[in-house]
Amino acid sequence: MLELLSEHGLRPSRALGQNFVTDPNTVRRIARLAGVGTGDHVIEIGAGLGSLTLALVETGASITAVELDKYLLPVLRTVVEPSGVRVVEGDALRLDWPALLDDGDRWVLVANLPYNVATPLVATLLDDVPQIARMLVMVQREVGERLAAGAGDEAYGAVSVKVSYWATARVVGRVPPTVFVPQPKVESALVSIVRRPSGPAVPVSVVEPDRLFEVVRAGFAQRRKMLRRSLAGVVEPAAFERAGVRPEARAEELDVETWGRLAAR
């Protein structure tokens, strides 16, 4: 990895939040935790110089690698295309996902995600890309804890509700800063996210998702306040009794199903 960077006069882009994994044991561990193998279709976001990509190739899965950095792309293609990897240039937040995942198969996403895109990307994929059945993402530890948090957890917030609406999530591993170049200042977490096979936790017949997350965002925007105050003007007072929610409760106490009852009209 370091030799490739030096050979091509490249360095990690701070603007793109690049931290490359240089430890072969770590990328093999990620590939193992992804649980993929022959017959699986894997999409990797931010493939960089291909170290994780090659570990995924070793599993026997079919790999599509997405990379935004135009300076890394020629090197990435040289490293991984001989192993049968399809390389796609693009920004994961702006990709035409239906066109990219057009063969009707269920996909697994595996990615080392920079801090600035991790939360919006996971939320967008859960909302808009049902072809992705599960994900294994490496993110900063505090981001991972928010993605996987449940009601009552310290890290629980609006994004936690979003994830639990569509999927089940858990932190399956930790990764130290020492395996990256450059070394980040924080520990990373590996988060497994598995889409609910039967659809969202709160059926659309109960409440539309736009309405549900309008209420969730309002509740967590003032999370220290009692819900009767933070949701004033957003839900009617009678909704608390209908939903079986104490008006004095705070946002972090409610699981996704309870938020659904509270948001229903």
Write the pLDDT tens digit of every residue in 77-93: 999 999 999 999 999 99
Q: Tokens 């170049």, residue?
A: 181
Torsion (CA) 97, 30, 133, 129 in degrees, nearest 10: -20
Structure tokens at 262: 């509270």
User: Of 149, 69, 68, 63, whose CA–CA distance to 109 is shortest?
Assistant: 63
Peptide bond into 177 cis (omega under 30): no
CATH class of segment(s) 209-263: mainly alpha
Predicted confidence at residue 223, as pLDDT, reads 84
Cβ-Cβ contacts under 8 Å for 173 (sequence gap 6 or more): 29, 33, 189, 190
Distance of CA 147 to the CA centre of its chain: 7
Antiparallel, parallel or unpaired: β 180-181 and 167-175? unpaired
Q: Which residues of the chain fall short of a pLDDT of 50?
A: none
One-letter amino acid of 50: G
The C-alpha atoms of residue 126 and residue 134 are separated, in whole angstroms, by 9
Residues 50, 81 contacting (CB under 8 angstroms): no
| Separation of alpha carbons 213 and 208, rounded Å | 9
Q: pTM here? A: 0.92
pLDDT at 126: 97
Residues of the chain with CATH 1.10.8.100: 209-263
Tell me, what amino acid is at 255? Answer: D
Four-residue CA torsion sign, 58, 64, 66, 67: positive
The topology under which CATH files domain 2-195 is Rossmann fold (3.40.50)
CA–CA dist 78, 83 (Å, integer): 10
The amino acid present at 11, given as its one-letter code, is: R
Where in the chain is CATH 3.40.50.150? Answer: 2-195
5: its two tokens: 């960077």
Q: For residue 55, what is the DSSP state?
A: H
Can you list the alpha helix ranges (DSSP code H) found in the chain? 2-7, 24-34, 51-57, 73-80, 97-100, 115-128, 141-148, 158-166, 209-221, 227-230, 238-243, 256-263
Q: What is the DSSP letter of 178?
A: G
Place of tokens 């609006």: 158
Per-residue pLDDT tens digits for 14-31: 655 557 778 899 999 999
